[in-house]
Structures are given as C-alpha cells and as structure tokens.
Structure 1
Amino acid sequence: MPEPGPVPSGTPTIAVPLDGIVALPDGVLPAIVTFMEMRSPPAAGPVGDPPATERLGPTEAERFRRLFRAVGEKWLWVSRLRHSDETIAARIGDPGIATLAVIEEGRDIGLVELDLRKPGEVEIVLFGFVPDAVGRGLGRRLMADLLARAWRRKGVRRVWLHTCTLDHPGAVRFYRSFGFVAYRRAVEIVPDPRLDGLLDVAVSPDWPPVG
C-alpha cells in the first residue's frame, strides 16, 4: 500500500465526519490503517536464528498466489488476489522488490515482501505466516533479521510498513516492540472479497459481510 495521497479524479467518495459516525455502502470492507516507521536501527538483542527464506522469481506467480492466500485469508488480505498472473509475475520479478517465501521442512509457511526501490528507504510491504506457524517466535526472529539487513543497506534512513484493523490484533504491539513508531492513520475501503467469490463467505466471522 502506498502512503496516503490525493484521491484520484473520478473515484467514488463519501464524506467522513471528524467527530461522529457515517454509514458505508453495502458490499464494502473498511479498515483503519496505521503507518509505522523507524529512522534509526533498533537495539540489537538475542532472538535466535531466523527461519530460512527463499526469493521467489517471476515464474512463480501461482506459488505466490497460494502462499498469499494461505497467510492472509484469515485476515481478509485481498489486494493481490485481484491481480492477474502477469501483474504478479512482473512484481515479483522486479529487481527492486524482494519477495521471500519462509520455508520450514520444505513447506512454505510465511511470506515477506520488501520494496527497495526508493533510495534511502525500505518498505516492508507484506509480512505474515500461515496460521499453524503463528505464535512460535518465528516472526520475531525473522523481523530482527530483516531489520538488521535493511539497516546494513547503504544509505538507508528509514524503514516503514503499515498494518490495519483486519490484521492480527497483536500486530501494532509486535512492531512497536522493535522500535517502529506510528506516524499516520488512514481509512481503507475495498469491495468485500467474500461477496465476489475471491474468498469464502465464512472467512473472518468477526467481520461478517454486509450486502
């Protein structure tokens, strides 16, 4: 997700009061997005060896799609599910974007995407694990390694990411524990993927579809 900017011309909009409540149209899914950043390396601490990772290539669009769904379905990740194989292949084949599968005993258990294209910055675009790999300390070990590598890159002055109210409830606390600081919030509204068949209607029952 890019950082918030002007709304493109022609985009349907609603007025959101700064103190109050507004009804949303049926069929959409809202989320509050928190943007977080760090501008200096975090204090290093012993966390253990990171899990193994493997960089995906442009011929692995279907592998990426399966892993994206396995990691993100519970949290209603949908952005890449709407992309064609050609669009996915172009992104994971971009030399300025590192798309990593986390591997355990020959099985894909996690997904990371780093955008390295802007000088002086590293964006952690995707970071997550399949449900049965969550809660085992793998994320902490992997994040520590990613941050160490990010800050070793020449000229890096900022590492940033975003999370939202549809993600794991401990996500903001997890990122803050590494030194990330919240600096901006935004509202994201997308078509509910359960209403157009991209995800099963039973996914994420705490956020039932409306419409």
Structure 2
Amino acid sequence: MPLDPVPAGQLAAVVTSLEMRARPRPAPMPASPLRLVRWTAPTNDAYRTLFRRVGSPWLWFSRLAMAEEELATILADPAVELFAVADPRGIEVGMLELDFRRPGECEIAFLGLVPDLAGQGHGSWLMANALAMGWRAGVERMWVHTCTLDHPGALAFYRRSGFTPYALAVETFADPRIAGLLPRDAAPHVPLIAPDPA
C-alpha cells in the first residue's frame, strides 16, 4: 500500500472521536489531593499559560494559534465551563474544559494534567469529575477526541472511562514548534522536520 508523504514542516495525526450516550452508573469518587477551581472568563494569557504547561508535551496548539478575539469569546461564553486543577499548595497543575454549546451535548474539550502527575491515578479523579459535571439535566451525549500525538495511554484511558470510538480522521497541520507556538524541544517523541530554507 503506498504511503502519502507528509511535507517537511507539517505533522499528521490520526484523530479518534469517542462518545458516551448514557450516564455512567454511580461510583465513588476516586481520592485525590487535587481540587478543581472554576475559572470565570480568565484572560487569554492566563489560559494559554496553563494550556502550554499541560499540553506542550503532546503538541496542543489549537488555542495558541487562535485569534485573540475568538479565544476571548470562547472563554467568556457561559456555555463553556473552565476549571484549573490545583495541587494542595494552590499551584495550577491541570485543566478541564467542558463545552455545552451544542444543545443536548457536552464535549470534553480539554482534560489534562502536567506530565509529573501522570500514572498516579489523578487522571481517573479528573475524569470522574468531568463525567459528574457533564451529565446534567438535558445532556444526552458526552464526547471527546484524542489523537496519535497525545499521551500513548489516552485512547485506552477514554475507553476505560466508558467512551466508545465512533469516527477516525487524519489531520495534517503545520508543526507548531516551527511556527514558534511551542518550544522546538516540545514533544521530543515527535520528529521535527523543518523545511529547507528557501
């Protein structure tokens, strides 16, 4: 089978979309010393700072490339609920963003913790909170997407949490490290292939 080359300076990822169409059965909330802090219309700079801390290892860049006015509109929308995850010292170590802008749906737009907290069970706590808050009156579907640039355990984590894959897509985009949106040493597991200088 022939391979489709990805031009230098570009990246390609397989995106998996997953959904949950029924509220999960009640279960005890996993223990964690972390807590969720509701953000009400944070500044673009504050949001992007945490977005980078959580997402740069996985090349999260969408909100970094977004126009200032567009991002501010999303962050101020009452149908978009933003939370910082704080450790016992009050330091922000993760984020959760629930998007209710589509009637009857809740998208987990962003859910993540800084890399130092991986593998300690905090992700299960964060997901349990997301599901508890997402499944509210009028919501008939929760959904999320991940891609092959994400944490290698992300897809299995979402499936264990009760989400079912329903669609695959291939996304090709400019490498955000070359554009300066993220440091060039971000996500060292993803090769950075710069185009030849003109």
Whether contact under 8 Å (2:104, 2:138) holds in the other structure is yes
Root-mean-square deviation (CA, aligned residues, Å) is 1.6
Is the counterpart of residue 35 in structure 1 residue 34 in structure 2? no
1:39 maps to a residue whose letter is: R
Aligned to 2:120: 136
Counterpart residue number, 1:22: 4
> Secondary structure at the residue paired with 1:89?
helix
Give yes or no for contact 2:20–2:162 (8 Å, CA) kept in 1.
yes
In structure 2, how many angstroms separate the alpha carbons of the residues matched to 1:194 and 1:98?
Answer: 28
Matches within 5 A, 1:154-173: 154-173=137-156
Deviation for aligned residue 1:68: 0.3
Residue 91 (structure 1) aligned to one of 70, 74, 77: 74
The 5 A counterparts of 1:33-182 are 33-49=15-31, 51-104=34-87, 105-151=89-135, 153-182=136-165
Q: Which runs of 5+ in 2 are unaligned?
A: none
Q: Measure the CA separation in 1 of the matches of 2:42 and 2:147.
A: 30
SS at 2:12 equivalent? strand
Q: Residue deviations 1:150-194, cap 9 Å, x none?
A: 22x112111000000011101111111111000000011111011
Q: Is the 8 A contact 2:18 2:163 kept in 1?
A: yes
SS in 2 for 1:45: coil
Distance in structure 1 (CA, Å) of the matches to 2:152 and 2:42: 34
Aligned position for 2:183: 200
Q: Say if 2:98 and 2:134, in contact at 8 Å, map to a contact too.
A: no
Contact 1:61-1:88 within 8 A present in 2 as well = yes
- Structure 1: 5+ residue stretches without partners: 1-18
The answer to whether the 8 A contact 1:114-1:125 is kept is: yes
For 2:170 and 2:92, how far apart are their aligned partners in 1? 31
Q: Distance in 1 between matches of 2:121 and 2:68?
A: 32
- Name the SS for the 1:86 alignment partner: helix
CA drift of 1:47 comes to 4.1
Conservation of the 8 A alpha-carbon contact between 2:98 and 2:106: yes
Structure-2 change in CA distance of 1:47 and 1:54 (3 Å): closer
CA distance in 2, matches of 1:138, 1:74: 18
User: Following the alignment from structure 1 to structure 2, what is the Cα–Cα distance between the partners of residues 88 and 74?
Assistant: 21
Instruction: Tell me the TM-score normalised to structure 2 length.
Output: 0.90
Equivalences, count? 192
Structure 1 ranges of 4+ moved more than 6 A? none
